[in-house]
Amino acid sequence: MSRLVHALVIPYPLESHCSAMADLCIKLASRGITITFVYTEGLCRCKAYITDIAQKTGLDIRSQEVSDGLPSDFDRSLYNESFLQCVLNSMIEPVEEVILSVNREDHPISCIVADSFLPWALLIAKKLSVPLVTLWTQSTVLYSIYYHSDMLINNGHFPSKGRGTNDCIDYIPGVPTMKQRDLPSFLQATQMSDFMLHAIFLSLQSVREADWVLANSVYELETEPIQYSLHSATPLCSVGPLLPSGYFNNHPPLEFDFSMWLDSKPANSVIYISFGASARVSKAQIEEIAIGLLQSKISFIWMLPPQTMCSNGSLIEILPHGYLEKIEDNGIGLVIPKWSDHLHYTVLSHHSIGGFVSHCDWNSVLQSLCMGVPLLGFPLYADQYTNCKLVSDEMDIALKVEHGGVNGALVERMEIAKKVKALIRGKEGRKARKKIKRLKRVARKAAIQGGSSDKNFDNFVEELICKVMHG
């Protein structure tokens, strides 16, 4: 019966959002649902990933490319607001053209599965008279903050009074007490007219009308916000962590260019630094990180792809003079000028890695959890401030830098050196490592057969098939 369900899957066209959606595609297809995956030029890696899985397993996953309304050389990570405007205003028409084409040539689309930040997906679902499933790719605590943002307005915490305020925000259902600096950056805005915020509110309105909201989270890790969502218009259904199978199967890391270097280091002795594929960091901040790592005297491996560097220079131009030669001569560190999901996994899963300096996007948090590697939170943007608060103060699996933030203040080298040493060699780091090993088992157990996320997903698929078949 599930073969009669044909899902059009539409990720938000950024890799950080799409990676979870790609793994959701595989899970849906493995339950016998036909998938047509809509991707943009910037999501070719995600498309290649699920295509490879489909070819190896025989899963029924097709792909259709659409335009996001921008030229290929436009820097989507740097000009976020212009990108979002195009996503909201220019993508719906090419997606509808895909639907017309598919419906003419194949059995028709019978449900829409879309990122929660694509509000026009609801319009398409209504036009087709098919169910809408939205995927919330961030933490469920963040979902509750956005969902109840009217409380922030009523209590005078939005628009922001400024990051210096010490007011405690302790009234949002399912959300631990936090300060204004712990809110997502869009809710630290000083004006109500902020376009990004408007887009978020628009998305939340459409989510309220969805048939299901799937959350890339684990019930046992975010029990309170998930429980509180049961009283909302559309309760959350936790089906995470949505990650490649390697994060659950204890696959040994494969050989790669610098595996011998990592193999030579003791267990839990190396710090790994990565801000993902698209985060932007200033040249001045990169220099502070570079010097701070040297001052810590902790071995490190730093994934620093060109798109991370705001000035678009080479490593030699961006890093302090003679830096690469210095770390190579004393064997203390490696800087890798590229990004790949496979490389990220193989480094994070290596026994020598004792900590992960991360901007704390939700994917990175889940990856750390499933690998059992404690974090040093270094938030830059969006939901990362809230996630950093969760992992450091609530889950106790991370340390965090104490400076920097929305206003672009630098995190200085001494702070970086201090926190890196504390994470790898200090008492706080040992405590975080012990706690994350326990939560690793919780997260993995939820995803395997019979776990809470696995059961939730099976129930959702059963309900989806019934709704498609019988209305």
pLDDT interval class at 274 (50, 70, 90): very high
Q: Does residue 238 surpass a pLDDT of 80?
A: yes
Q: Does residue 364 surpass a pLDDT of 80?
A: yes
* Window from 207-216, 233-242, 332-341 with minimum mean pLDDT: 332-341
State whether 258 and 233 are in the same domain: no
State whether 185 and 269 are in the same domain: no
Q: Does residue 360 surpass a pLDDT of 60?
A: yes
State whether 184 and 302 are in the same domain: no
Report the pLDDT averaged over residues 432-458: 96
The closest of 447, 460, 395, 383 to 139, measured between CA atoms, is 383
Both tokens of 81, joined, read 């607001």
State whether 147 and 137 are in the same domain: yes
Report the pLDDT averaged over residues 265-292: 91
Q: Which residue blocks in 250-383 are alpha helix, DSSP H?
A: 259-263, 283-296, 315-318, 323-330, 341-348, 362-371
| HEC-encoded secondary structure of 53-85 | HHHHHCCCEEEEECCCCCCCCCCCCCCHHHHHH
* Window from 9-18, 23-32, 112-121 with minimum mean pLDDT: 9-18
Q: Does residue 307 surpass a pLDDT of 90?
A: no
How many percent of the chain have pLDDT more than 90? Answer: 64
pLDDT interval class at 277 (50, 70, 90): confident
State whether 388 and 440 are in the same domain: yes
Q: Which residue blocks in 12-156 are alpha helix, DSSP H?
A: 15-30, 44-57, 80-90, 92-105, 120-128, 140-147, 149-154
Q: What is the H or E stretch that residue 10 is in?
A: strand 6-10
State whether 457 and 367 are in the same domain: no
Our count of domains for the chain comes to: 2
Collapsing DSSP to helix, strand or coil, 108 comes out as coil
Q: Give tens-digit pLDDT for 368-427.
A: 999 999 999 999 988 999 999 999 999 999 999 986 555 567 899 999 999 999 999 999
φ and ψ of 284, to 5 deg: -65, -40
pLDDT interval class at 256 (50, 70, 90): low
φ and ψ of 184, to 5 deg: -60, 150
pLDDT interval class at 158 (50, 70, 90): confident
CA distance 127 to 143: 27
State whether 461 and 363 are in the same domain: no
Report the pLDDT averaged over residues 320-331: 90
Q: Does residue 163 surpass a pLDDT of 70?
A: no
Both tokens of 272, joined, read 């790994």
Report the pLDDT averaged over residues 102-128: 94
- The pLDDT value recorded for residue 192 is 62
* Window from 44-53, 79-88, 264-273, 353-362 with minimum mean pLDDT: 79-88
- The pLDDT value recorded for residue 314 is 72
How far is the first Cα of the chain from the last one, in angstroms, to the nearest whole number? Answer: 14
State whether 21 and 96 are in the same domain: yes
Q: Which residue range is the domain that position 257 belongs to?
A: 250-444
Q: Does residue 174 surpass a pLDDT of 70?
A: yes
Is residue 236 a contact partner of residue 224, using CB atoms and an 8 Å limit?
no
State whether 237 and 93 are in the same domain: yes
State whether 109 and 169 are in the same domain: yes
The closest of 277, 232, 207, 193 to 17, measured between CA atoms, is 277
CATH number at residue 387: 3.40.50.2000
- Cα–Cα distances (Å) from 445 to 19, 370, 441, 449, in that order, read 21, 10, 6, 8
State whether 40 and 185 are in the same domain: yes
For the chain, the average pLDDT equals: 89
Report the pLDDT averaged over residues 449-455: 95
Residue that the structure tokens 């026994």 belong to: 351
224 φψ region: left (φ > 0), alpha (ψ -120 to 50), beta (else): alpha
- Cα–Cα distances (Å) from 350 to 215, 258, 371, 373, 427, in that order, read 28, 11, 9, 10, 22
State whether 403 and 450 are in the same domain: no
pLDDT interval class at 266 (50, 70, 90): very high
Collapsing DSSP to helix, strand or coil, 283 comes out as helix
Q: Which residue blocks in 264-314 are alpha helix, DSSP H?
A: 283-296
| HEC-encoded secondary structure of 248-259 | HHCCCCCCCCCH
Sheet containing 236-238, strands listed edge to edge, beginning at the edge strand earlier in sequence: 61-65, 34-39, 6-10, 111-115, 132-136, 212-215, 236-238
Both tokens of 449, joined, read 């057969």
CA distance 34 to 101: 16
- The pLDDT value recorded for residue 165 is 60
